[in-house]
Amino acid sequence: KAGVTQTPRYLIKTRGQQVTLSCSPISGHRSVSWYQQTPGQGLQFLFEYFSETQRNKGNFPGRFSGRQFSNSRSEMNVSTLELGDSALYLCASSPSGGGAYSYEQYFGPGTRLTVT
Amino acid sequence: AQSVAQPEDQVNVAEGNPLTVKCTYSVSGNPYLFWYVQYPNRGLQFLLKYITGDNLVKGSYGFEAEFNKSQTSFHLKKPSALVSDSALYFCAVRPMNSGNTPLVFGKGTRLSVIA
């Protein structure tokens, strides 16, 4: 099976702009989670989508939003970019079915966002 | 709320020596515990997990981890380190039977194996 893919891999944006990142999960996985990774804060949970519904949300401002499509592909959007949004954004997919196995997450390579 | 502590930002070990990367956790009830590894410019890769049963869990690339309930720890170990093990390691936890609570990750420990 193909792994989790994320596009684009690298992105440079200017403060105030908005950006959309895309994630395609492993075939058959219905859960997609997004994380922000920075050197100082480590991995911080943004949100999780399951069957097109947001199931969990982390502690991020409303500028961060996401959605999931019927084919389980997911996008996240950040509006009004700030310098502090510069980070590696990771997407992870999980198999459905519940239990510990649904939390054996499979990560994509990430999108490196730089805000100038 | 659950939390994970990785007390060492950096661990240095000589090639061929045993390595330990420490992790302690706090969770209500019993935990599911995970270790992930991240190589440069890559996403996280799953190494191993503890669900229930034997406290010693064996995973990928010769790694193992020992679950210690009394000490709320889940330290990652390998008997003989390789230079190629140099990477960033993350411990993660979620409570068992907690519905859809997301994983909580530690801040990571950078392992450097010196030839």
Chain segment B62-113, per-residue pLDDT in tens: 999 999 999 999 999 999 999 999 999 999 998 776 666 788 899 999 999 9
Q: Count Cβ neighbours within 10 Å for each residue of B6-37 and write b for 16 or more, e otherwise.
A: beeeebebeeeeebebbbbbebeeebbbbbbb
A21 contacts on B by Cβ (under 8 Å): none
The pLDDT of residue B67 is 95
Q: Which two structure tokens, joined as six digits, stand for A5? A: 């893919």
What span, in angstroms and rounded, lies between the C-alpha atoms of A94 and A32? 7
Q: Which two structure tokens, joined as six digits, stand for A30? A: 């219905």
Chain segment A69-109, per-residue pLDDT in tens: 999 999 999 999 999 999 999 999 988 655 555 667 899 99
A66 has a chain B CB within 8 A of its CB: no
What span, in angstroms and rounded, lies between the C-alpha atoms of A105 and A96? 11
The pLDDT of residue A113 is 97
Contact A9, B43 (CB under 8 A): no
The pLDDT of residue A98 is 56
Of the candidates A50, A105, A110, which has its C-beta nearest B103's C-beta?
A: A105
CB contact under 8 A, B43 and A109: yes
What span, in angstroms and rounded, lies between the C-alpha atoms of A46 and A95? 19
Confidence at B28, pLDDT banded by 50, 70, 90: confident
Residue A89: count other Cβ atoms within 10 Å of its Cβ. Answer: 23
Which range is least confidently modeled, A68-72, B2-6, B13-17, B40-44? B40-44
The pLDDT of residue A99 is 54
Chain segment A30-77, per-residue pLDDT in tens: 889 999 999 888 899 999 998 899 988 999 999 999 999 999 999 999
The pLDDT of residue B43 is 86
